[in-house]
């Protein structure tokens, strides 16, 4: 690519980092979650949410378990201010939920912020100012000392207005553009703020370390977080919060490594909505933990509902491949994948497995409100016999014999390929019915009568309707099906082999029905038929007749 020489690293790695976090293999407990959907997420929308939409979204965030929710920048506009006051004045904030608001280090903004919060039972006042080299030099044109003084000024004002305002307030400070800031300077300015707020066990302070713009690989951020965690003033009374953006596609990795490195809290959004490439997706983070047996303490068990609410109020769309939440993330089109999933599910049933370990499915789709037949096994020209058969079994109750699966699988693939589209479950079932079940053309059996002979012999008097004529043929066999088969062979003057016969109850559709499968072989070619009837004898004869009609039509 051209102009590569204009780019260079914009981050400041920690010198000789201890990297203790690298010895850990998983996050063992959930962080404190803070949704910033209503502030960071909302300001990134093409059309920001209305007051009614914000209220609905707030209530939904509470429903799924968020205990800290950033609701906006109340001093920035009347809309933001009104939203804050509506929540407080209408007592819409549960006692165990804390709202969070953003403010700059300017007195009239801080004053307006505390005015908006008056009477709040619990609130976090989030103070920030930019600290990166680029911001200091290009935007604010201030020295390090001047930037520190600005942060100290804001911290003093927050402390002053808290004392004057009714409500219970905690503090948070962000050195904005932390990842473009020298670690030593970031530590210096955070400690300057902490010394003013003087956190205690009963009044802990949040230090937020935002990946405002992602500049580095995740391990660099983890080292920066670990450095801060090791050196913050009164660290035991400080929550380290992480706020990663996704410019390099690393927000989830930044968050996970940051938590290993000492982070206590995550600020993010549902589905990763946010400025530019977005914030960290809390759903992905939480369900990553869930997939390893850690309860994230957020409830994403109804993903279809969550997607519907989110898409409606934000007018954004959840990408089909978005982890855990996308429409296709559990879908298997590949035949080998479908076969492995089907076998894995049967293995679970047979072995009463304690832990989830199904090939290609990192979690059980049902745990997030998805269903196998609609979301997991998807049928198109890439599908195989295993997936098609699994769909027929789980949705419609047909336990297709192993030898028949290949025939049916190729049939379905061919139809999908010709139509250039995915086939819905009901379309697959219709193909099965049209090609296999209770076929009565070109041959039918209007009547069959059986007579028990000596031993196991059965005589069948079969009335055969074919090409506009009906004739009754009598033949014996070692059972009803064999006797009917022999009668047909005599009538057609044809030889074939009844190779396979299986049956089972069709429990999914009706406890009283039975399904039978018959394979006839002629000249080394198989013809399959399926019979469904409340009587098992009639079911078997219908399956034989269906296979026979396949054979005759191929003559």
pLDDT in tens, 210-227: 999 999 999 999 999 999
Burial of 357 (0-12, 13-18, 19+ CB in 10 A): exposed
Question: Which helix (H) or strand (E) covers residue 188, if one does?
Answer: helix 183-197
Chain position carrying tokens 């929550």: 239
Question: Which helix (H) or strand (E) covers residue 432, if one does?
Answer: helix 425-436
pLDDT digits (tens, 9 = 90+) for 324-364: 999 888 887 777 887 888 888 889 988 988 999 999 899 99
Phi, psi of 16 (to 5 degrees): 50, 55
438 in Cβ contact with 542 (< 8 Å): yes
List, in sequence order, every beta strand (DSSP E) within 150-201: 169-176
Residues contacting 407, CB < 8 A, separation 6+: 526, 528
pTM of the model: 0.81
**Percent of all residues in the chain with a pLDDT value above 90, rounded to a whole number:** 83
Please say if the pLDDT value at position 268 is more than 70: yes
Among 239, 231, 184, CA closest to 207: 239
**pLDDT attached to residue 508:** 54
**The two structure tokens encoding residue 462:** 């079969």
**Percent of all residues in the chain with a pLDDT value above 70, rounded to a whole number:** 97
pLDDT digits (tens, 9 = 90+) for 102-118: 999 999 999 999 999 99
Please say if the pLDDT value at position 549 is more than 60: yes
pLDDT digits (tens, 9 = 90+) for 498-521: 999 999 988 755 566 899 999 999
Please say if the pLDDT value at position 389 is more than 90: no
**pLDDT attached to residue 384:** 66
Answer CATH for 24-314 from 3.60.15.10, 3.40.47.10, 3.20.20.70, 3.40.50.2000: 3.20.20.70
Angle at 353 between CA 352 and CA 356, to 5 degrees: 145
Please say if the pLDDT value at position 371 is more than 80: no
pLDDT digits (tens, 9 = 90+) for 142-172: 999 999 999 999 999 999 999 999 999 999 9
**pLDDT attached to residue 334:** 73
**pLDDT attached to residue 210:** 97
**pLDDT attached to residue 337:** 81
Mean pLDDT of the chain: 93
Please say if the pLDDT value at position 374 is more than 70: no
Please say if the pLDDT value at position 273 is more than 80: yes
**pLDDT attached to residue 510:** 53
Q: Residue 122 — very low, low, confident or very high, per pLDDT cuts 50/70/90?
A: very high
Q: Residue 312 — very low, low, confident or very high, per pLDDT cuts 50/70/90?
A: very high
Please say if the pLDDT value at position 390 is more than 90: no
* CA torsion angle 481 486 492 494 (round to 10): 110
User: Which alpha helices (DSSP H) does 298-420 contain, by range?
Assistant: 303-314, 335-351, 385-396, 402-419
**pLDDT attached to residue 421:** 87
**The two structure tokens encoding residue 521:** 């072989």
Task: Find the mean pLDDT for residues 215-242.
Answer: 98
> CA–CA separation, 14 vs 6, rounded Å?
24
Task: Find the mean pLDDT for residues 76-101.
Answer: 96
> CA–CA separation, 362 vs 367, rounded Å?
11
**pLDDT attached to residue 456:** 79
Architecture per CATH, domain 443-553, reads as 2-Layer Sandwich (3.30)
Domain extent listing, the chain: 24-314, 335-417, 443-553
Residues contacting 353, CB < 8 A, separation 6+: 347
Counts for the chain of helices (H) and strands (E), in that order: 17, 14
Can you give the C-alpha Rg of the chain in angstroms? 34
pLDDT digits (tens, 9 = 90+) for 57-82: 999 999 999 999 999 999 998 999 99
């Amino acid at each position: 690519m051209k102009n590569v020489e204009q780019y260079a690293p914009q981050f400041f790695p920690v010198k000789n980092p201890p990297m203790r976090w690298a010895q850990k293999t998983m996050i063992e407990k959930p962080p404190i979650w803070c949704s910033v959907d209503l502030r960071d997420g909302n300001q990134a929308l093409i059309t920001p949410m209305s007051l009614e939409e914000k209220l609905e979204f707030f209530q939904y965030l509470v429903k799924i378990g968020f205990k800290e929710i950033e609701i906006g920048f109340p001093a920035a506009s009347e809309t933001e201010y009104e939203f804050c006051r509506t929540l407080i004045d209408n007592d819409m904030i549960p006692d165990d939920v804390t709202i969070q608001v953003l403010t700059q280090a300017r007195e009239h903004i801080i004053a307006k912020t505390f005015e908006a919060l008056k009477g709040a039972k619990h609130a976090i006042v989030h103070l920030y100012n930019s600290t990166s080299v680029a911001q200091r030099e290009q935007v604010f044109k201030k020295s390090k000392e001047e930037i520190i003084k600005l942060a100290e000024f804001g911290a003093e004002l927050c402390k002053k207005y808290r004392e004057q305002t009714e409500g219970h307030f905690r503090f948070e400070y962000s050195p904005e553009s932390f990842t473009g800031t020298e670690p030593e300077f970031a530590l210096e300015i955070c400690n300057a703020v902490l010394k003013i707020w003087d956190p205690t066990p009963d009044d802990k302070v949040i230090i937020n370390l935002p990946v405002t713009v992602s500049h580095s690989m995740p391990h660099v951020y983890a080292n920066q977080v670990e450095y801060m965690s090791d050196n913050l003033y009164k660290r035991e009374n400080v929550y380290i919060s992480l706020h990663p953006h996704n410019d390099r596609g690393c927000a989830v990795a930044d968050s996970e490594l940051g938590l290993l490195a000492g982070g206590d809290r995550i600020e993010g959004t549902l589905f990763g909505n946010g400025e530019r490439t977005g914030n960290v997706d809390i759903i992905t983070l939480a369900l990553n933990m869930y997939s390893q047996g850690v309860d994230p303490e957020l409830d994403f068990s109804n993903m279809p509902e969550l997607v519907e609410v989110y898409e409606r109020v934000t007018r954004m769309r959840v990408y089909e491949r978005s982890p855990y939440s996308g429409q296709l993330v559990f879908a298997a089109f590949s035949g080998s994948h479908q076969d492995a999933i089907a076998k894995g599910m049967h293995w679970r049933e047979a072995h009463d497995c304690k832990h989830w370990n199904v090939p290609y499915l990192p979690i059980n789709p049902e745990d997030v409100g998805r269903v196998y037949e609609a979301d997991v096994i998807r049928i198109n020209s890439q599908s195989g016999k295993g997936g098609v058969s699994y769909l027929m079994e789980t949705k419609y109750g047909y336990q297709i014999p192993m030898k028949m699966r290949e025939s049916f699988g190729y049939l379905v693939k061919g139809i999908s390929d010709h139509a250039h589209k995915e086939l819905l479950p009901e379309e697959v079932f219709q193909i099965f019915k049209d090609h296999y079940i209770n076929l009565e053309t070109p041959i039918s059996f209007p009547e069959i009568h059986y007579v028990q002979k000596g031993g196991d012999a059965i005589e069948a008097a079969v009335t055969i309707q074919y090409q506009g004529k009906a004739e009754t043929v009598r033949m014996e066999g070692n059972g009803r099906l064999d006797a009917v088969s022999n009668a047909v062979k005599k009538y057609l003057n044809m030889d074939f082999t009844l190779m396979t016969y299986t049956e089972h109850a069709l429990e999914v559709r009706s406890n009283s029905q039975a399904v039978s499968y018959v394979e006839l072989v002629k000249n080394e070619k198989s013809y399959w038929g399926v019979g469904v009837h409340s009587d098992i004898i009639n079911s078997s004869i219908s399956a034989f007749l269906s296979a026979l009609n396949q054979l005759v039509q191929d003559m």
